[in-house]
Amino acid sequence: MKKLLIYILCTFMSVAHANSQVVQVVWPFAPGSTQAVMIRNLIESANQQQSKYQFVFVNKPGAGGTIAANYALTAGSLTVLASTSSFYTRPLMYHESHDPEQFRIISAICLQSPLALFSRKYSTFNDIKNNDVTVGINPGSVTQLFTRLLTQHNPELKFTDIPYKGTPEATTDMLAKHIDASIDLLSVGNLARLTPDTAVIGISGTRSLPGMPSMTSLQVKGLDNLTNSYYVFLPRAVDVAVTQELNRIFNTAINPAVRESCSNERGLAELIPFDRTEKLHQTNQIQWRQITQGISKQ
């Protein structure tokens, strides 16, 4: 009986979406990451609550999110971009990047997730002082900004950035001891991958977590305001009425599964009504310009 009900529900959903407008939701980073799972949960929830649009997950990695952003602008059909704070940092760190002003925020998924410096070679922050530490980063993303800010504000630190397509690959090489350290997110899934001898040297932001001291608490400068957030963006050229409609859909789609994914990232789920989205977008650009002040653009 249960299988029959599931079959009927699936059939109903298929019929309901048969004439739906297909909307690509483009994700720039690792498709198998816990963060991608959060985006997929959001898409599934958005599809369950309405039948006008059929949202589909599309992965377009590369260039710190710029390939996905530019794809969303030129796709030729209604396409949204799900991205992180790297959406703002990449244009401030690399000349060949997308333009954030060509987009609007239509939903905030998860805010203020800290990032961590992981290592199997070093155990504490004092261990990395005055050493040339190889660290895995994603160029132009908040993970690269992590090391840039540390070296800018703490002259005793020296990092050699090793570029990776995504944080999972960097952490895999850190665990294999091919590199000294990696910058990654604090999701439950990521922490489960770590070996017992992997140390969390420190995390960004001002909150310390059990066994994971904030860099601020270690008297390390530069990372107080560096956290990672997740947003859904839409090209600014899209009609405002459609933008408002998608804002309502994606806000409603932030269900318990999405909130749990956000909690696993140590982030905060917050619904942003449409009349606050533009102010948030402009505030984000101002804040990231301030944070990256003094960082050389490549």
**272 — phi, psi (to 5°)?**
-110, 110
Query: Among candidates 206, 208, 212, which has minimal Cα distance to 194?
Result: 212
**Does some domain include residue 208?**
no
Instruction: Please say if the pLDDT value at position 1 is more than 70.
Output: no
Q: Do 96 and 124 have their domain in common?
A: no
Q: Do 18 and 108 have their domain in common?
A: yes
Euclidean distance between CA atoms 182 and 162, whole angstroms? 9
Place of tokens 């005055």: 130
Q: Do 18 and 86 have their domain in common?
A: yes
Query: Among candidates 80, 142, 146, which has minimal Cα distance to 109?
Result: 80
The CATH code of the domain that includes 130 is 3.40.190.10
Query: What is the pLDDT confidence band of residue 165, given thresholds at 50, 70 and 90?
Result: confident
The answer to whether the predicted template modeling score (pTM) of the entire model surpasses 0.75 is yes
The CATH code of the domain that includes 283 is 3.40.190.150
Q: Tens of pLDDT along 236-283?
A: 999 999 999 999 999 999 999 999 999 999 999 989 999 999 999 999
Euclidean distance between CA atoms 105 and 127, whole angstroms? 41
Q: Do 71 and 57 have their domain in common?
A: yes
Task: Note the pLDDT of residue 16.
Answer: 52
Instruction: Please say if the pLDDT value at position 32 is more than 90.
Output: no
Q: Do 34 and 96 have their domain in common?
A: yes
Percentage, residues of the chain above pLDDT 70? 94
Which range of residues forms the domain containing residue 180? 115-203
Query: What is the pLDDT confidence band of residue 8, given thresholds at 50, 70 and 90?
Result: very low
Cβ count within 10 A of residue 97 = 20
**Does some domain include residue 167?**
yes
Instruction: Please say if the pLDDT value at position 156 is more than 70.
Output: yes
**Does some domain include residue 81?**
yes
Q: Do 133 and 195 have their domain in common?
A: yes
Task: Note the pLDDT of residue 83.
Answer: 97
Task: Note the pLDDT of residue 5.
Answer: 43
**Does some domain include residue 218?**
no
| Contact partners, residue 71, CB within 8 Å, separation at least 6 | 26, 60, 79
Q: What is the mean pLDDT of the chain?
A: 92
